Amino acid sequence: MLNIVLFGPPGAGKGTQSEKLIEKYQLNHISTGDLFRKHLSEGTELGKKAQKFMDDGFLVPDEVVIGMVEDKIKSETDAKGFIFDGFPRTVKQAEALDNVLKATDTPISGMIALEVPFEELKKRLLERGKISGRVDDQSEEKINNRIQVYLDETLPVSEYYKQQSKFNGINGVGSIDSIFEKISAVIENF
């Protein structure tokens, strides 16, 4: 079983690369951002809990995120593996994920971290905001906040996987296909 954590700041290209990886390796996709946006559009209780955090670019509390991911993993019993996109975003989430996977005896194979300079991220997110209509992509202030949250709360997650010798950094600037090739080469060694 191939379980991949696709890691990186907002705008690094995780969603784009996930789509290609899912197809190539036949993995199930767990994007916590997409799951929250689905809850929001359906007006569920969980969506209501998450909305304010998301709109302002803060993290949704760990217990809400972890419960949602746990349910999703447990409901997809026929998966050949998972690609985790935008999760884990805190060390507490990473520990919870390891615990859930321990129960199924299918640990994380490795982390792939897309590395992109912050000026490039800001440019990409403002461009995406014009097309996607995502509230959190609409202003430089919100984008700066999300990058700051990434630095403060999410970056330590890469240390967590470094300690397990599962960290793989990839330059996330370049063509979609060239980055995909680099990611695939890393995965072949998992």
Which residues make up the interface to ligand AMP (CB under 6 A)?
A: 10, 32-33, 36, 53-54, 57-60, 65, 86-87, 89, 93, 136, 146
Nearer to ligand AMP, 48 or 185 (CB): 48
Nearer to ligand AMP, 124 or 146 (CB): 146
Residue nearest to ligand AMP (CB): 33
Residue tagged active-site, from 37, 72, 134, 162: 134
Residue tagged active-site, from 14, 124, 142, 166: 14
3-state secondary structure 100-111: HHHHHCCCCCEE
Residue tagged active-site, from 142, 146, 166, 182: 146
Question: Please, which residues have CB within 8 angstroms of residue 190's CB and are 6 or more apart in sequence?
Answer: 2, 4, 109, 110
Least distance in Å: CB of 189 to ligand AMP?
Answer: 26
89 is catalytic: yes
Least distance in Å: CB of 69 to ligand AMP?
Answer: 8
134 is catalytic: yes
Nearer to ligand AMP, 49 or 162 (CB): 49
Question: Please, which residues have CB within 8 angstroms of residue 58's CB and are 6 or more apart in sequence?
Answer: 145, 149
Count other Cβ atoms within 10 Å, centred on residue 99. 11
Least distance in Å: CB of 188 to ligand AMP?
Answer: 26
Least distance in Å: CB of 35 to ligand AMP?
Answer: 8
Q: Residue 85 corresponds to which tokens in the numbers above?
A: 């996109």
Number of H helices, E strands in the chain: 9, 5
142 is catalytic: no
- Cα Rg of the chain, angstroms: 16
- Measured between alpha carbons, how far is 141 from 160 in angstroms, rounded to an integer? 29
Residue of 27, 22, 29, 17 lying closest to 81 (CA atoms) = 27
Report, as residue numbers or ranges, the catalytic residues: 14, 89, 128, 134, 146
